[in-house]
Amino acid sequence: MKTLQDGAMLHNGVRMPWLGLGVYKVQEGEEVVQAVKTAIEIGYRHIDTAAFYQNEEGVGRAVKESGVPREELFITTKVWNSDQGYDTTLKAFEESLKKLDLSYIDLYLVHWPVKGKYKETYKALEKLYKDGFVRAIGVSNFQIHHLQDLMATCEIKPMVNQVEYHPRLTQKTLHAFCKENGIQLEAWSPLMRGGELLNEPVLMEIGKKYGKTPAQVILRWDLQNEVVTIPKSVTPKRIKENAGIFDFELTVEEMKAIDALNQDKRIGPDPDNFDF
């Protein structure tokens, strides 16, 4: 974890950069194009979008205009709930691929565990993987019981589980389960929303010691916990700042102090009580 290009090795041998740019709620068109191009210029090689974000076209355009060879980039997108099911997922994937204007996707995820549908949806992902359209497949917002249910019948174990993860929601049991099963945990909303964490005295204090912001301290904590992280920003200064986490290391005590901020507090929906 020395540079922005360093990555986690997924269980199928594909390397996934530890830090990426998330584009949830980033507007289609110039806003998303500029954010992605800025990130790639800074050195990011991992971009995370989803059909639901409605900005895949802009992401694809930015990838093309960046001038960076496609094989150096890691692009994630996800199938939305209303498209879940076997045939509908294959169709949704085709649509995403067209919008992104790419010949393959690096990581395709089931966005939420829609009851009665996510197994069929995942079967479609397995087909896409076998046919070479995606380099890795996985899930998002899956709890342990969802993963166990899926793994009881799936042919290819998920490579990634992307979940809400931050110092107020440390997901220790889920993280341990994923580790045991060779599933890479990935954090969405690592900084929470509304900046509550950025004024947290513990994080401010640690940041002062290293000359880093609370946000940088959190992202470093992610990496040292071996969690891939995708903070969202459209501000060039912030995108650059978020990447400045490879030149310092938190001590064991500091890691524990951040762990202790956990309140099992979600800002997003609870996957077990989500209105799909």
Active site residues: 53
Helices marked H in the chain — which ranges? 30-42, 56-66, 86-100, 118-130, 144-151, 172-180, 201-210, 214-224, 236-242, 252-259
How many CA atoms within 13 Å lie on the side-chain side of 200? Answer: 26
Cα–Cα nearest to 164, from 222, 203, 82: 222
Measured in whole angstroms, how far is the alpha carbon of residue 79 from the centre of its chain? Answer: 14
User: Crossing angle, helix 144-151 and helix 172-180, to 10 degrees?
Assistant: 20
Angle at 244 between CA 263 and CA 204, to 5 degrees: 40
Contact by Cβ (8 Å): 108, 78: yes
Neighbours of 86 (CB within 10 A): 16
